[in-house]
C-alpha cells in the first residue's frame, strides 16, 4: 500500500530518479544495486541475531534504499531485463528470510509465531507468482501485481518494529502477537491478489 502511495508522489519519484542517476553515474548498475541490497539485508539479519539492533536497522534501511533504486536505475539509465527482475525478486526473499531468522534467533518464544508468518509469506508469494505468470502482460517489471495492504515498505517497517520490540525486554512478550497480526495481513493481501487474478483471468 505504501509503495503505491509513495510511487504516485512526484516529489518522491524525482528524488528517486536523481539518486538512481547519481548511483549509475558512479558505476552502480541495477543488478549491482540489487546485490548490494541483498548483502546489506543479510548483514542486517546477522546483526539482529547478534543483538546489535542499531546496526541491524541501519543495514536494513540501506538494503531498502538500494532495493527502491535498482528498478529506477534499470528503467531510466539502462534497460530493464528479465534477469534483473529474477535477481530482484530472489534478493528480496533472501533478505526477508535472513532478517526474520535473525530477529527470532535469540528468542525461542518467537519461533512458532515467526514460522506461522513465514508460512503466510510462502502462500502469498505463490499467489503473486502464479497470478503474474498467468497474466503474462507486457510490463516494465518482471511481474506486475495489484496494490495490496502489504507491500515491500510495510515489510521493512514490520521488521524494524519487531526488531526493536525484541531488543526491549519489557516489550518482548508482544513480539509473537506482532507476527500473528502481520500473518493475518499477509492472508488478506494474498486473498486480494488471488481475487484480482480470478477477475482478470475469467472469460468475458
pLDDT tens figures, 28-68:
999 999 999 999 999 999 999 999 999 999 999 999 999 99
Please tell me the total count of domains within the chain: 1
pLDDT at 105 over 90: yes
Q: What is the CATH number of the domain that holds 160?
A: 1.20.120.1760
CB 6 within 8 A of CB 62: no
Average pLDDT, the chain: 89
- Residue from 51, 164, 39, 49 nearest 100 by CA: 49
Show the domain range for 76.
2-201
Separation CA 39–CA 144 (nearest Å): 25
pTM of the model: 0.89
Q: What is the pLDDT of residues 132-186, one digit of tens each?
A: 777 765 555 556 666 678 888 999 999 999 999 999 999 999 999 999 999 999 9
Amino acid at each position: 500500500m505504501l509503495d503505491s502511495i509513495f510511487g504516485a508522489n512526484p516529489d518522491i519519484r524525482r528524488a528517486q530518479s536523481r539518486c538512481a542517476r547519481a548511483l549509475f553515474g558512479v558505476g552502480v548498475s541495477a543488478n549491482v544495486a540489487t546485490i548490494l541490497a541483498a548483502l546489506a539485508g543479510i548483514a542486517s539479519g546477522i546483526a539482529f541475531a547478534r543483538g546489535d539492533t542499531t546496526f541491524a536497522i541501519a543495514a536494513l534501511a540501506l538494503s531498502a534504499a538500494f532495493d527502491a533504486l535498482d528498478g529506477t536505475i534499470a528503467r531510466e539509465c539502462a534497460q530493464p531485463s528479465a534477469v534483473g527482475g529474477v535477481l530482484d525478486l530472489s534478493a528480496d526473499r533472501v533478505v526477508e528470510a535472513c532478517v526474520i531468522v535473525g530477529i527470532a534467533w535469540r528468542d525461542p518464544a518467537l519461533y512458532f509465531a515467526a514460522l506461522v508468518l513465514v508460512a503466510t509469506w510462502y502462500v502469498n508469494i505463490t499467489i503473486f507468482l502464479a497470478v503474474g505468470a498467468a497474466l503474462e502482460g507486457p510490463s516494465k517489471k518482471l511481474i506486475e501485481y495489484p496494490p495490496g495492504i502489504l507491500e515491500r515498505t510495510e515489510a521493512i517497517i514490520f521488521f524494524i518494529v519487531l526488531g526493536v520490540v525484541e531488543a526491549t525486554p519489557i516489550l518482548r512478550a508482544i513480539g509473537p502477537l506482532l507476527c500473528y497480526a502481520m500473518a493475518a495481513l499477509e492472508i488478506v493481501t494474498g486473498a486480494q491478489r488471488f481475487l484480482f487474478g480470478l477477475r482478470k483471468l475469467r472469460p468475458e
